Amino acid sequence: MSRTNVYEMQQRISLLMESDDLVPALHLLRRVLKIKKHHMNAAPFTSVFDVADAHVTIASVLDEIITRLSSTSGEQLKAKYVNESAWHYFSAYEIKCDMLGSDDPNTQEALRLFYDKF
C-alpha cells in the first residue's frame, strides 16, 4: 500500500473508467488532485507536472460526461461541467506556463485544450 493511497486510487479509477462508471471515477480523481496538491509541499513530494496532469485528466473525464448527457437533459449540469472542465484545463496551462514558459509545445497544447472549450 502506498503512503498516500494515490496509486491504489488510480488503479480503482482505471477500473471505473473501463466500466464507464465516470461519476465515481470523477470523485476519486478530485481526491487524487487534492492529495497531489497537498504533497507539492509535504512528503512524499509530488511534481507540479503531476498536478497539471491530474487537472487534464479531470477535465477530460468531465468532457466525456458532457458528451454522454442527452441533448435535452441537464443543461445546468452540462454548463457546470463545461465551466469546471475549462477551469481544470486552464489550471494545467498556468502550471505549464510557469514551469516551461509560454512558448513550450506542452504549454501551447494545454492552452489549445482550454480554448477548445469555447
Q: What is the pTM of this model?
A: 0.91
How do residues 62-114 score in pLDDT, each as one tens digit?
999 998 887 666 788 888 899 999 999 999 999 999 999 999 999 999 999 99
Q: Please give the residue that has the higher pLDDT: either 118 or 5.
A: 5
How do residues 32-74 score in pLDDT, each as one tens digit?
999 999 999 999 999 999 999 999 999 999 999 998 887 666 7
Nearest Cα to Cα of residue 66 among 84, 52, 48:
84
d(CA 14, CA 103): 32
Half-sphere exposure at residue 118, Cβ-oriented, CA atoms within 13 angstroms: 8
33-35-40 Cα angle (round to 5): 95
Half-sphere exposure at residue 81, Cβ-oriented, CA atoms within 13 angstroms: 21
Nearest Cα to Cα of residue 113 among 97, 99, 100, 98:
97
User: Who's near 41: CB < 8 A, 6+ residues apart?
Assistant: none
End-to-end CA distance of the chain: 41
- pLDDT band for position 27 (cuts 50, 70, 90): very high
Nearest Cα to Cα of residue 33 among 46, 51, 59, 56:
51
Residue-level pLDDT at 71: 66
